[in-house]
Amino acid sequence: MGETLNASELLNLIFSYITKISATRNHDEIIDILANMSRELTGADRCTIWLVSDDKKSLWSKVAHGIDNIVIPIDTGIVGCSIAQREKIIIDDAYDDDRFNKSVDLKTGYRTKSIMVVPMHNEDNVIIGAIQVINKNNDGVFDERDLERLLLASTYAAESIESALLLKEIEQTQSELIFTVGSIGESRSKETGNHVKRVAEYSYLLAIKYGLSKEEALLLKEASPMHDIGKIGIPDAIINKPGRFNDEERKIMDTHAFIGYKILKDSTRRILRSAAIVAYEHHEKWDGSGYPRGLKGDEIHIYGRITALADVFDALGSDRVYKKAWEDEKIFQLFKDERGKHFDPKLIDIFFENLDDFLNIRKKHKDGYNG
Ligand code: C2E
Ligand code: SIN
Ligand code: SIN
Ligand code: SIN
Ligand code: FE
Ligand code: FE
């Protein structure tokens, strides 16, 4: 793209990038798009987006055209200078400028000539990094117009990066909360250690092999740890009864599925709505003999069918207050017997076709004390 853009081309370009950025939630992808946008806006060969590290001692760049994942000390090079002085910098030939740090060129074999750098700051005016473009097309040099465009890009970039970082933070917090919340059900029934983590991993694997999209499989992975959240509504004396239930206890215990659904169903969050389905339907059985509604076959949401298998596989292989862990052969026999009865036959087939993967997950997330 060597030609200069006219105003309407410029607007179109900016608009198309903004659309792309708002459609993605992934931090690295956003940086990648911002780098492409800055490069195109300024007619440069390469763009690097540098971010200040958490300890403020270095600059790092995950995405850079032609290079990947570099870290440099914060006070080096032209970028370092731009950040330290809060200055926009335009240089026609880097090799004539002794601030230029040739080490990156030496590593990549690339010849940097013209450079333009603008610092990026957040709303509180804290510098969060810099955008650097290198080598104006057709051996040209960067001018004031290019600078204006890069400034425009940098304002927008700073905003997008900040909100993406925030989102990442929120998502990580959310993920942790989900396991914490999920393990409430687990600890109420003295299930040990990693039950909900294993159920999450088994569910993801089953979902992928069943043919759900990666996105949906990830959603189920986040939702499935909450399948037994309704156990918080069940009295201790019942949940922790060292022996088998009588009919009355059984009836009370069975309400955990509906209780979980009630807790989660009104959320507008996708994960919690999926968790509501999982809580409600993880004890339904393929032949219609499960609870609480006695749904049958495809009437049971795929999330429910998947979590049912994942949960039972894990429950049978674990000690419970009311029973010892089963031998694998006995579990496999039950799965064969229950194919098309308790469990979706297709999922049972997937389970046996990928048995090693399931056993590896179990090994990886083994409970501490019986390992
Ligand atoms: P859980 O222990 O996590 O078990 C989940 C599911 O795995 C059970 O759902 C059942 O389908 C299967 N499962 C677990 N252990 C066995 C077993 O020894 N034999 C067979 N055939 N299947 C097993 P279910 O039955 O709806 O139970 C839901 C939850 O109710 C259990 O979760 C557990 O917390 C509790 N629970 C069920 N039965 C008893 C019991 O007799 N005594 C006590 N104390 N708790 C029980
Ligand atoms: C710099 O000196 O600006 C950093 C090195 C580079 O990216 O070329
Ligand atoms: C159990 O053994 O705890 C439950 C048996 C079943 O309903 O599958
Ligand atoms: C879904 O509704 O999320 C999956 C579709 C299915 O039931 O297979
Ligand atoms: Fe349950
Ligand atoms: Fe469970």
| Rounded CA separation 176/357 (Å) | 24
CB of 321 sitting under 6 A from ligand 1: yes
The phi, psi pair for 201, rounded to 5°, reads -70, -45
CB of 316 sitting under 6 A from ligand 1: yes
Which of 192, 200, 190, 189 shows the shortest CA–CA distance to 227?
200
Residues of the chain with CATH 3.30.450.40: 7-167
Per-residue pLDDT tens over the stretch 256-283: 999 999 988 888 778 889 999 999 999 9
| Rounded CA separation 216/226 (Å) | 16
Residues of the chain with CATH 1.10.3210.10: 189-370
Question: What is the model's pLDDT at position 1?
Answer: 42
Distances (CA, A) of 77 to 194, 281, 359: 48, 59, 51
Taking a C-beta distance cutoff of 8 angstroms, is the pair 282, 307 a contact? Answer: yes
CB of 245 sitting under 6 A from ligand 1: yes
**303 CA closest ligand 4 atom index:** 3
Ligand 6 geometric centre to CA of 308 (Å): 9
Question: What is the model's pLDDT at position 369?
Answer: 46
Q: For domain 7-167, give its CATH number from 3.30.43.10, 1.10.760.10, 3.40.250.10, 3.30.450.40.
A: 3.30.450.40
**103 CA closest ligand 2 atom index:** 5
**Closest ligand to 334 CA?**
1
189-370 belongs to CATH 3.40.30.10? no
Q: Where are the beta strands (DSSP E) in 149-271?
A: none
203, 212, 224, best to mutate for ligand 4 pocket (most atoms within 8 Å of CB): 212
Residue nearest to atom 3 of ligand 2 (CA): 78
Q: Write the CB contacts of 191 (distance below 8 Å, at least 6 apart in sequence).
A: 318, 320
**298 CA closest ligand 4 atom index:** 7
219, 302, 305, 306, best to mutate for ligand 4 pocket (most atoms within 8 Å of CB): 302
Question: What is the model's pLDDT at position 264?
Answer: 86
Pairing of the two strands 67-73 and 44-52? unpaired
**212 CA closest ligand 4 atom index:** 4
Taking a C-beta distance cutoff of 8 angstroms, is the pair 196, 183 a contact? Answer: yes
Catalytic residues: 231
Pairing of the two strands 115-121 and 44-52? unpaired
Question: What is the model's pLDDT at position 335?
Answer: 98
CB of 79 sitting under 6 A from ligand 2: yes
**64 CA closest ligand 2 atom index:** 7
CB of 312 sitting under 6 A from ligand 1: yes
Give residues whose Cβ lies within 5 Å of ion ligand 5: 228
Residue nearest to atom 6 of ligand 2 (CA): 104
CB of 15 sitting under 6 A from ligand 1: no
Q: Show the low-confidence residues of the chain (pLDDT under 70).
A: 1-5, 7, 62-68, 184-193, 368-371
Taking a C-beta distance cutoff of 8 angstroms, is the pair 335, 348 a contact? Answer: yes
**Closest ligand to 270 CA?**
4
Residues with CB under 6 Å of ligand 4 are 216, 302
